[in-house]
Each structure stands twice: as C-alpha cells, then as structure tokens.
Amino acid sequence: MSSCETCVVRNRAICAGLDNQEIVALNAIGRRRSVSAGEPLIWEDDDSLLVANVIDGVLKLTTSTEDGREQIVGVAYPSDFIGRPFGQTSKASVVALTDARVCVFSRNDFDRFARSHPELEHKLLERTLAELDRTRSWMMLLGRKTAPEKIATFLLEMSDRLAETGCTPITRGPAKRFTLPFSRQQVADVLGLTIETVSRQFTKLKNEGVIDLPARRDVEILNRASLVALAG
Amino acid sequence: MSSCETCVVRNRAICAGLDNQEIVALNAIGRRRSVSAGEPLIWEDDDSLLVANVIDGVLKLTTSTEDGREQIVGVAYPSDFIGRPFGQTSKASVVALTDARVCVFSRNDFDRFARSHPELEHKLLERTLAELDRTRSWMMLLGRKTAPEKIATFLLEMSDRLAETGCTPITRGPAKRFTLPFSRQQVADVLGLTIETVSRQFTKLKNEGVIDLPARRDVEILNRASLVALAG
DNA sequence: TGGCATGGTTGACGCGGATCAAAGCGGACC
DNA sequence: GGTCCGCTTTGATCCGCGTCAACCATGCCA
C-alpha cells in the first residue's frame, strides 16, 4: 500500500474538488518513491513514461546543449507536478536537488485517470497556466536583465518560494533567512550566468550590507528594500 | 451573428472532441474582432477580462521593465489561444504584429463555458503544456546561446512555424522562403539581443551564403544544414 | 591531526555584444 | 522625380561578463 499520509495530503493539492473516493483511487495508482540529492528521475528527450507529484524536497528541470551547457528551466517544490502528461517525450530532465520524496504515476495510468476526472484536469490546467506565467517572467530575466538584477530577483524569488512551501520553519510571508537548495553552479544555471559571476555578485551584496552569507548555502536578507530596487 | 466560417474552423482547433452543438454554443459567446498591426489587445498587469482565439495574423506576447526594456515571451499564430483564463491578471501584453483577426470571449463567459465542457479544458491543457515546452526550450536559448546560435535557431523556428500555419503559400514542411512578421527590433526582443547585433548577424549569414535577404523582412534559406549546425 | 577532495572565492585578462553615432536605404506622399 | 521619414545597416568604441588560473574554506576520512 503506497498511500502514506503525507502523500495523500500532497496529492490533495492537485485534487481539490475531487471527492474522497477519487483521491483514494488516485493514490492507488501512485507509488511513493525516494530520490536522493543529485539523482535523476526523468531524462531529457526520453519517452515520457512517468509523471509525479512532489511530496517534499526540491527538484530541478533542465535542458542541455550537446556541448554540455545547461539551463535550469524550472524548479519543482512540494506539491508541484512534474513530468509531461499527454505527451510522447519529456523535453526536460528532472534531477533532485535535495533528498526528495515523490509520488510517481505511470504516465498512461495517470493520463487515463485524468481524462476521466475533469476536476483533476482542471486543477492541472490551472497549475500549468501558473507555471507558464512564471516561466515567461523568467524569460524577461534571462533576456533582458543584468547580472546584479538577476541575482536580486533570484534572491527575492527564493525568499518567497521557500517561505511559502514551508521549507524553512518560519511564519508565513517571505523568508528573511533561508538555505538555498542550489550550489553556486546551479544558481548560475538558473540565471544564465557563470559560477564566478554569481559568486562575485553575492559577495558584492554582502559587502554592501544588503545580505549576509552565514554559511555556504545560507542567505539572510538584511535589506529587502534595496534588493527590490536592484531587481528592477 | 459573429460566427463566420473561418472563425468556426479556427475555433474547431481548440474544440476537437466537442460535438457540433457545443461548437456552435462556443461560437455564440465569442465575438469576432479585427486588430491592425501594432494595435494592442491585452495589457500587461491589467485585469484579465478577455481571452481570444487567433483566426489569422500573428501577435506578440511581451513583458517590459519599468525602464522600457522589452522581452517577447511568446508569439501567437492562427488557431493559438491568447489571454489568461482562470486568472485575475494577465502577466503579458498582447500586441498584433500583422493585421489580425481574433475571436474574443469575455473571460468570465469563457471560464464558465470551459468548466462545463471537459473536452475543451482538455484541449486547452494540451495546448498549454505544449506552449510550456516551447517556452522552456526558449529559455535555454536566452540563457545559454550565443548571438549566432540565437539567430540560426530563430530562423529555423520561423521557417517551421510559418510553414505549418500556412502563412506562406507553400506545401507542407519547413518554408525555404518566408516573410518575417517581425521588424529587426522585434527579432531583437525575441532573442534578448540589440537591433544592431541582429542586423550584423543577418548580414554575416548573407555574406556566407547561408541565407538571402531579398527584401527587408524576407528571408530565403539557402543552406539549411549549416543553419542547423550553427543553431547548436 | 593531517591530507585530500569538493566547492567557493578572488584576480587578471580578453572578447562578445552593447552603446553611441552616422550613414544608407526604400517606401509614401506630394 | 524629389523629399521626407522610419527602418536598417555599418562603423568605432566601450564595458560587462566570460574565461582561465590560482587560491581559500570546509568537511571527510585515515
């Protein structure tokens, strides 16, 4: 029996509107799975055989060029949906950034289930539209923002995202202090920069007293207003 | 009566699966509208009051910074869907690039109609997922590709898109020669470059015999293989 | 406690693409 | 045909970020 308590709760996020019987049915076709940090779950250009719902942890969606350049095109947090339903191939790899637990479904099973449960499809549509909005605003960042603007925007986004998903034990609202689920290289891959530029911008913000960097991956926002100003 | 023949045909694209009676019902809540080149249809950050289906013409989706930098985050071709259903605000402006005809719906009407027609929602979901895939692969271009790679990728994409939507009177398959629906500035806004860089890369490709530029907005692909190689 | 591996920082330098400026177009209109 | 006007091209210069290389911090294991 795969339907643990947390799994049910997280799946509920994509199920609001379904009645309890349906939620149980969905859980019945899902299988819980642990993924450790760095471990891939889905490969770019592979047949789309599975989709999943994130229970906890953070995962990255990436695309790469043949010569090894990588771009992170999305980040999945708890209760986010990953994989490509209704499509033959997935256009992005999915790799865990932290140890993560997911609830995986065979794509065929999930597609069939979704098609016969309009409320679930509706929820999925809403999420996909929201993700598209987020992705488009990230295009503006990649195409038109400077390195300092990128870093500031990134820190603000992280502060919001990590607070809202409860990855930091902090009351609601943007987190003042948080632990990045990214290495410097991964931050660079999100922002379309190099690791050196990311590092330099971080220390610059630290020297200016805008943020503090108490540990490798920890960030404390000291002056949110100037971050907002810098983000443009 | 707003449901002209083309409108019905184009709407049919998002309606496959609905029976005829439903298609007629959808057309009944839509209103046909002409938009001339350069005219805006939806404004960034405005209340999302209308959604639309493109009958013909090409439109751009853009986001801008306060200081006027612009990024084109999407392009809508005939039978594409624009606007933000199930959302309070639209995160992108929509402006016609060419004279265009669209079939507009009040968002409320459309949302209500969609929620009671699962087949339509499913179609919408499939389209949104496909658009998300396209958008993500564009992120790779914006974040990691060089100017020559960007231009080559752009030309190949245009060649595919313009052929497939029938904007050029050419048999199926990628178009060898086509008219860009973009000015140089707009190409720059798609690729995250400046107008000067776009111009220089175009003339470079022309000098190398990869493409020909018979008129301002016309492109002829002379050597598709090297474009593919350049696109990376 | 020392050695090593991994990841992050810092510095010197060069290049790709932005910026600034001026000179071609080519179409619309008279 | 002439003369605008907006768009595009071309040239000169600059600078932000990438590249290359060395150095430093941290944590792990012997």
Q: What is the pLDDT of residues A139-197, one digit of tens each?
A: 999 999 999 999 999 999 999 988 755 444 445 678 899 999 999 999 999 999 999 99
CATH number at residue B158: 1.10.10.10
Is residue B121 domain-resident?
A: yes
From chain A, pick out residues whose CB is under 8 angstroms from the CB of B137.
63, 73, 91
On whether both B183 and B80 belong to a single domain, the answer is no
- Return the exposure string of B39-75: e unless at least 16 CB atoms fall within 10 Å of the residue's CB, then b: eebbeeeeebebbbbbbbbbbbbbbbeeeeebbbbbb
Query: How many domains does chain A divide into?
Result: 2
Instruction: List C-alpha distances in Å: A91 to A114, B74, B182.
Output: 21, 18, 27
Identify the DSSP state of B18.
B
> With an 8 Å Cβ cutoff, are B132 and A130 in contact?
no
Instruction: Write out which nucleotides of chain C lie closer than 7 A to a protein Cβ.
Output: 7-12, 16-21, 26-27
Domain that includes residue A202, residue range:
145-231
Instruction: List C-alpha distances in Å: A7 to A1, A56, A166.
Output: 12, 9, 16
Is residue B136 domain-resident?
A: no
Task: Give me the tens of pLDDT residue by residue for chain B, a chain 232 residues long.
Answer: 344 455 555 565 665 566 677 778 888 899 999 999 999 999 999 999 999 999 999 999 999 999 999 999 999 999 999 999 999 999 999 999 999 999 999 999 999 999 999 999 999 999 999 999 999 999 999 999 999 999 999 999 999 988 755 444 445 678 899 999 999 999 999 999 999 999 999 999 999 999 999 999 999 999 999 999 999 8
On whether both A39 and A92 belong to a single domain, the answer is yes
In this predicted complex, what is the ipTM?
0.91
CATH number at residue A97: 2.60.120.10
- Torsion A45-A46-A50-A52 (CA) sign: negative
Is residue B93 domain-resident?
A: yes
From chain B, pick out residues whose CB is under 8 angstroms from the CB of A144.
65, 69-71, 192
On whether both A80 and A106 belong to a single domain, the answer is yes
Please name which of A49, A90, A133, A195 lies closest in space to residue B137, comparing C-alpha atoms.
Answer: A90
On whether both A135 and A158 belong to a single domain, the answer is no
On whether both B165 and B208 belong to a single domain, the answer is yes
Rounded Cα–Cα distance for residues B94 and A17 (Å): 32
Instruction: List C-alpha distances in Å: B39 to B59, B98, B161.
Output: 10, 9, 22
On whether both B127 and B151 belong to a single domain, the answer is no
Is residue B138 domain-resident?
A: no
A:B CB pairs within 8 Å: 118
Please name which of B143, B173, B149 lies closest in space to residue B161, comparing C-alpha atoms.
Answer: B173
Is residue B221 domain-resident?
A: yes
Tens-digit pLDDT profile for residues A133-142 = 999 999 999 9
Instruction: Write out which nucleotides of chain D lie closer than 7 A to a protein Cβ.
Output: 7-12, 16-21, 26-27
> With an 8 Å Cβ cutoff, are A144 and B65 in contact?
yes
Closest CB to B65: pick one of A125, A130, A232. Answer: A232
On whether both B97 and B60 belong to a single domain, the answer is yes
CA distance B43 to chain A (A): 14
From chain A, pick out residues whose CB is under 8 angstroms from the CB of B133.
84, 87, 91
A196 strand C contact, CB < 7 Å:
yes
> With an 8 Å Cβ cutoff, are A86 and B61 in contact?
no
B106, amino acid identity: S
A141 Cβ contact list (under 8 Å, min separation 6): A149, A150, A153, A191
Is residue B140 domain-resident?
A: no
On whether both A123 and A165 belong to a single domain, the answer is no
β-bridge mates for residue B50, sequence order: B106
Quickly tell me which residue has 């760095």 as its tokens: A38
Closest CB to A137: pick one of B63, B85, B192. Answer: B63
Among the candidates A116, A139, A162, a domain finishes at: A139
Among the candidates B77, B101, B131, a domain finishes at: B131
| Residue A71 three-state SS | strand
B204 strand D contact, CB < 7 Å:
no
- Could you say which residues 132-191 of protein chain B have a Cβ atom less than 7 A away from any atom in strand D? 183-185
* pLDDT of residue A13 exceeding 80: no
On whether both B91 and B157 belong to a single domain, the answer is no
- Torsion B112-B113-B114-B115 (CA) sign: positive
Rounded Cα–Cα distance for residues B206 and A115 (Å): 49
Is residue B139 domain-resident?
A: no
Q: Which two tokens stand for residue B44?
A: 């960034």
Is residue B137 domain-resident?
A: no
A202 strand C contact, CB < 7 Å:
yes
β-bridge mates for residue B89, sequence order: B47
On whether both B9 and B121 belong to a single domain, the answer is yes
Identify the DSSP state of B62.
E
On whether both B121 and B51 belong to a single domain, the answer is yes
Closest CB to B71: pick one of A135, A139, A232. Answer: A139
Query: Could you give the strand order of the β-sheet that contains B30-35, starting from the edge strand earlier in sequence?
Result: B30-35, B100-106, B50-56, B81-82
Among the candidates B76, B98, B131, a domain finishes at: B131
Please name which of A225, A197, A200 lies closest in space to residue A210, comparing C-alpha atoms.
Answer: A225
First to last CA, chain B: 50
Q: Provide the pLDDT for residue B23.
A: 78
Q: Provide the pLDDT for residue A20.
A: 74
On whether both A156 and A125 belong to a single domain, the answer is no
